């Protein structure tokens, strides 16, 4: 009778060990799949970041051209440029560059976030910089884009249309010298400089820091 119980106990332990081993193998296989998927997420986020950094540089360059255009208007309004020396095409040549804002890529991050795989990141520094870029800096750029667009909607298109539809150079210059236009371009210049020096600069620094840490994590996992 004791032998039967002993044999039954051994068989029970064998089944228990078999189940435990099977669960352990399944759990480790699942973890491996998650970490492999997380690695792909980081590679995709890295690709988005590189596009963001390139786009930030492009927008910053266009904004600088917008500032240069405002400089032309200020020279005209203060008579540093005489009417006889002004080529009409320069009046709106870089005007559109005043309006550009930066819209970041965030699709790869959202995929990883919604999948829950970001919870498996072990690097605390990576978690912090991901949060700073995709939450803090993103919200800041969205808010500033909205405010800048609101400002442009009141002035940008109206003055472009007015200048464009004036028939003579003298009439166009009269608009540029008007009090309303000068107030508009001075505020536009102030807003652009703040956007470049604080908002874009913060996005650029955050993006480059995040890219550096992601590169290190990808290298460590390969």
Does residue 28 carry a pLDDT above 60? Answer: no
152's CB contacts (< 8 A; 6+ apart) are: 98, 99
Candidates 217, 215, 212, 202; CA nearest to 104 is 202
Does residue 20 carry a pLDDT above 80? Answer: no
Question: With bands split at pLDDT 50, 70 and 90, how would you rate the model's confidence at 121?
Answer: confident
CA distance 217 to 41: 12
The pLDDT, as a whole number, for residue 24 is 42
DSSP assignment of 20-78 equals HHHHHHHHHHHHHHHHHHHHHHHHHHHHHHHHHHHHHHHHHHHHHHHHHHHHHHHHHHT
pLDDT digits (tens, 9 = 90+) for 138-176: 888 999 999 999 999 889 999 999 999 999 999 999 999
Does residue 48 carry a pLDDT above 60? Answer: yes
CA atoms within 13 Å, Cβ hemisphere of 150: 6
The CA distances from residue 153 to 57, 156, 159, 163, 184, in Å, are 25, 6, 11, 16, 12
Candidates 157, 180, 169; CA nearest to 95 is 157
User: What mean pLDDT is predicted for residues 124-131?
Assistant: 92
Kindly report the number of other CB atoms within 10 A of residue 170's CB atom.
9
Burial of 210 (0-12, 13-18, 19+ CB in 10 A): buried
Most confident of 6-15, 76-85, 124-133: 124-133
**Are 85 and 59 spatial neighbours (Cβ–Cβ below 8 Å)?**
no
The pLDDT, as a whole number, for residue 192 is 95
CA distance 67 to 69: 5
Question: With bands split at pLDDT 50, 70 and 90, how would you rate the model's confidence at 11?
Answer: low
Does residue 2 carry a pLDDT above 70? Answer: no
Q: Give counts: helices (H), strands (E), the chain.
A: 7, 0
Q: Which of 1-10, 62-71, 85-94, 201-210 has the lowest mean pLDDT?
A: 1-10
């Amino acid at each position: 009778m004791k032998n039967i119980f002993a044999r039954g106990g051994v068989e029970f332990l064998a089944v228990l060990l078999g189940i435990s081993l099977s669960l352990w193998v399944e759990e480790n296989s699942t973890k491996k799949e998650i970490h492999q998927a997380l690695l792909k997420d980081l590679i995709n986020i890295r690709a988005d970041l590189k596009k963001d950094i390139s786009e930030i540089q492009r927008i910053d360059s266009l904004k600088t051209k917008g500032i240069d255009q405002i400089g032309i208007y200020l020279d005209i309004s203060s008579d540093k440029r005489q009417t006889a020396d002004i080529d009409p095409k320069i009046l709106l040549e870089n005007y559109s560059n005043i309006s550009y804002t930066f819209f970041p890529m965030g699709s790869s991050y959202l995929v990883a976030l919604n999948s829950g795989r970001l919870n498996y990141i072990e690097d605390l520094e990576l978690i912090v910089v991901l949060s700073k870029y995709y939450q803090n800096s993103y919200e800041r750029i969205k808010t500033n884009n909205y405010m800048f667009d609101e400002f442009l909607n009141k002035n940008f298109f109206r003055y472009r249309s007015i200048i464009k539809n004036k028939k003579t150079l003298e009439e166009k210059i009269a608009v540029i010298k008007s009090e309303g236009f000068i107030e508009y371009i001075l505020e536009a210049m102030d807003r652009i400089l703040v956007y470049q020096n604080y908002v874009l600069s913060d996005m650029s620094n955050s993006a480059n820091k995040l890219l550096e840490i992601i590169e290190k994590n990808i290298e460590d996992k390969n």
